[in-house]
Amino acid sequence: MEFSSRYSRQVVINGFGEAGQKALAKGRVLIVGLGGLGNPAAQYLAAAGVGTIGLMDKDVVSPSNLNRQVLFRPDDTDCSKVKLAQERLSRFNPEIKILTFRQSLEESLTPDILRQFDIVLDCLDNLPDRLRLNQICLNHRRPMVHGGVITFFGQLTTIIPFVGPCLRCLSPGSIFTCDCARLGVLGPVPGVIGVLQAIEAIKYLSGVGQVMAGRLLVFDGLSGTFDEVPVKRDPKCPACGDHGHEDRVADKNTYKLN
C-alpha cells in the first residue's frame, strides 16, 4: 500500500511506520457526540488517515456551540452537525470515508451501528447517555475512549470491556457530567481532551504504545497540570462485574494493564 505525502511525518516515526499507517487506513472509529470533544477528535482522526470515521449525533448547530465546536460557523445555525462535519472532513481528506448517523443513542439501530466499528469515542455531554453507551460497548465488546470536560477541567480513560474497569466502576463523583449550559466550559479545554481521545484511538488501532486502560487522566487547565489516577475494575460492578461475563472476552490476553 502506497501512502500520499500527507502522512509522511507519521510514516517516518520509529515504531509506527508504514505498518501503523496501514492499520489506520483499515481502522474504523465511531464518534458518539459531535460537540466540543467530537469536533477535534474527528478532525485529527481524519488528518491522521483513519480509513472510516462514523459520526453519530442528532443535534443541530446553535450559537452557544461556537466557542468550542470549531468545525462550525455562525451561518451553520440550525443545520445538522453530522452533515456539516461530513462535508468538511471529506473535503479536508478525500482519501477517507465519513459515515453519518443522525440519531440519538437511545434509538434501536445503535447496537447494529456500533458493531461496524473497531473502537468508540464517548464524546457525549450527559452522564445517563455515557452510561448507556458504556453498557452497549460492554455488550458488544467494543473498546471505548471516554472524555469529559467542565469549566477548566478535563478527563480521559480508555475502557477495554471485561479486562479493565468500565465507566460504572468509577465513583459517580469522578465522572464529569458536562453540564456546560449551567457551569460553562472554556473553549480550548475540550480541544485538549478531544485530541487525546484521538491519540488513544490511534494507539489502539495501530497497536503502538499503551492505552489509558485502568488509568484516569485528569487535566487542570488552571494550573496547567495533568494527573493520573489508577482505577481498578470493580468485581461487583453492575455493568461489568463477575457475573459470567468473563467467557465473552475473546481477546482478553491481548491487553495487559499495569
What is the per-residue pLDDT for 37? 97
Q: Are 77 and 234 in contact (CB under 8 A)?
A: no
Say which residues have a Cβ less than 8 Å from residue 227's Cβ, sequence separation at least 6: 217, 218, 220
Range 76-98 burial, b when 16+ CB lie within 10 A, else e: beeebbbebbbebbeeebeebeb
CA 127, distance to chain mean position in Å, is 15
Helix (H, G, I), strand (E, B) or coil at 56: strand
pTM exceeding 0.85: yes
d(CA 254, CA 237): 22
pLDDT (tens digit, 9 = 90+) per residue, 100-131? 999 999 888 899 999 999 999 999 998 889 99
Among residues of the chain, what percentage have pLDDT more than 90?
Answer: 82
All three cell numbers of 224: 496547567
Catalytic residue among 178, 180, 237, 240: 180
Beta bridge partners of 146: 122, 157
The average pLDDT across 7-26 equals 97
pLDDT (tens digit, 9 = 90+) per residue, 212-228? 999 999 999 999 999 99
Domain ranges of the chain: 5-250
Helix (H, G, I), strand (E, B) or coil at 74: helix
Q: What's the pLDDT band for 183 if we cut at 50, 70, 90?
A: confident
Q: Can you say whether the dihedral through the CA atoms of 139, 124, 117, 253 is positive or negative?
A: negative
The cell 496547567 sits on which residue? 224
State the CB neighbour count (10 A cutoff) for residue 173.
Answer: 7
pLDDT (tens digit, 9 = 90+) per residue, 148-178? 999 999 999 999 999 999 999 986 666 655 6
Is pLDDT at 251 greater than 60 in this prediction? no
Q: What's the pLDDT band for 230 if we cut at 50, 70, 90?
A: very high
Helix (H, G, I), strand (E, B) or coil at 165: coil
Is pLDDT at 45 greater than 90 in this prediction? yes
Residue of 37 and 255 predicted with greater confidence? 37
Is pLDDT at 256 greater than 50 in this prediction? no
Architecture of domain 5-250: 3-Layer(aba) Sandwich (3.40)
Quick one: DSSP state of residue 254? G
180 assigned to active site: yes
CB burial of residue 65 (10 Å; 0-12, 13-18, 19+): buried
Mean pLDDT for all residues in the chain? 91
Q: List Cα–Cα distances, 51 to 25, 99, 167, 195, 249, in angstroms.
A: 4, 11, 27, 18, 26
What is the side-by-side strand order in the sheet with 215-220? 97-101, 52-56, 28-32, 119-122, 144-150, 153-159, 215-220, 225-230
H/E stretch holding 198: helix 188-206
